[in-house]
Structure 1
Amino acid sequence: MPFNIYAVLVSTLVTLLVGFVWYNPKVFGTIWMNETGMTEEKAKQSNMLKVFGLTIFYSFMLSFILSSMVIHQIGAIGMIGGPDFIETAKPSYAAFMADYGDAFRTYKHGALHGFFFGVFIALPTTAINSLFEQKSWKYILVTSGYWIVSMTIMGAIICGWK
């Protein structure tokens, strides 16, 4: 089966792990705080249970949909109607999966698609919102860079872990 729920669950945690490094004051945290107007005092006022809980929830949503972008075999399963129809699928499905069942199921290939997902989805989305919010290009690059790195790693985990 091409879908691995454990890979999706583990990749869900990537946004937190990358965020701890990316937004560290020694990396890009100071730039991000300056560009957003965030202060240490303001950050301490956040409901961290809510922030981290929703971060995990939304990261799961991203990981879940990213699996369909990085694992090509999910498209073949979709073409027959889903996993419930594997047993009744035409012989061409079984032949296709026999020939291509693990094709492009590598960490490297998943990282490539995750990178593309970050560049072509996260970057434009962040940039459009930021332009209307009159955020700086520093903010756009720091935030988009975080998503590009996160999605690259998420894609690698999801695609490579069979």
Structure 2
Amino acid sequence: MEMNFLAVIVAALSTMVVGAIWYNPKVFGTVWMKETGMTEEKAEGANMFKIFGMAILFAIMISFVLQFSVIHQFGSLGMIGGNPAVAKPSYEAFIADYGHAFRTFKHGALHGFMTGLFLGLPVIGTNALFERKSAKYILINGGYWIICFTIMGGILCAWE
């Protein structure tokens, strides 16, 4: 089982598409700006190359790790220490039988959703609580990551 680095990159880039929609002023952008204290003046003075560059890098890091949660076959690979060359014949038979099992967008999206709900949202929520942010802030940003994890999981799992 080899990693599909193109799928990792595409899944990471999907966060930019979701963000362009999610944080659009006609969706949650205006409310998000109010909840964060962001103004048009602050936004205009930002180094967008740095912001988007780091956001893409972070999304790649998330995508890279998320694949291990949404693709079950990585679990069997882990059981043999990650090196199929040293595996017993039973591993090859297992992969021949189950190597494509549960490799669908729907299945990956389910695991991505659960990861977003039970990992992404609590991280966002915990930071927001200590930063004294509102419930709206938590729901907007947590919701964004739940959607992103769902789509990323679907892409990673379906794209063999």
Q: For this structure pair, what is the TM-score category when the shorter chain's length is used for normalisation? A: over 0.9
Instruction: Trace 1:58-73 onto structure 2 (pairs within 5 A).
Output: 58-73=58-73
The answer on whether the counterparts of 1:110 and 1:155 sit within 8 Å (CA) in structure 2 is yes
User: How far is the alpha carbon of 1:87 from its aligned partner?
Assistant: 2.5
Question: Structure 1 residue 90 and structure 2 residue 88: aligned?
Answer: yes
Percentage of identical aligned residues: 61
Cα shift readout 1:21-56 (whole Å, capped 9, x = no counterpart)? 000000000110010110111011111110011001
1:146 and 2:144 are equivalent in the alignment: yes
- Partner of residue 122, structure 1: 120
State whether structure 2 residue 153 is matched by structure 1 residue 155.
yes
Match of 1:93, SS? helix
What do the CA deviations read for 1:107-136 (whole angstroms, capped 9, x no partner)? 000000000010000110111111111100
- Measure how far apart 1:137 and its partner are: 0.3
The residue that corresponds to 1:13 in the other structure is 13
Q: Structure 2: which amino acid aligns with 1:111?
A: A
Q: Structure 1: how far apart are the matches of 2:94 and 2:76?
A: 8
Greater CA drift, 129-138 or 90-99: 90-99
1:49-64 alignment, distance < 5 Å: 49-64=49-64
Q: Check the 8 A contact 1:114/1:154 in 2, yes or no.
A: yes
Q: Give the 3-state SS of the residue equivalent to 1:134 in structure 2.
A: coil
- Whole-Å separation in 1 of the counterparts to 2:86 and 2:133: 53
Residue number in structure 1 paired with 2:100:
102
TM-score by length of 2: 0.97
Q: Deviations over 1:82-118 (max 9, x none)?
A: 1xx3123101211211111001000000000000010
**1:75 corresponds to:** 75
Alpha-carbon distance, 1:2 to partner: 5.1
AA in 2 matched with 1:69? S
Gaps of 5+ in 2: none
Where does structure 1 differ by over 4 angstroms across 4 or more consecutive aligned residues?
none
Preserved contact between residue 63 and residue 154 of structure 1 (Cα < 8 Å): yes
Equivalent residue letter for 1:116: M
8 Å contact kept, 1:14–1:153:
yes
Cα RMSD of the aligned pairs, angstroms, is 0.9
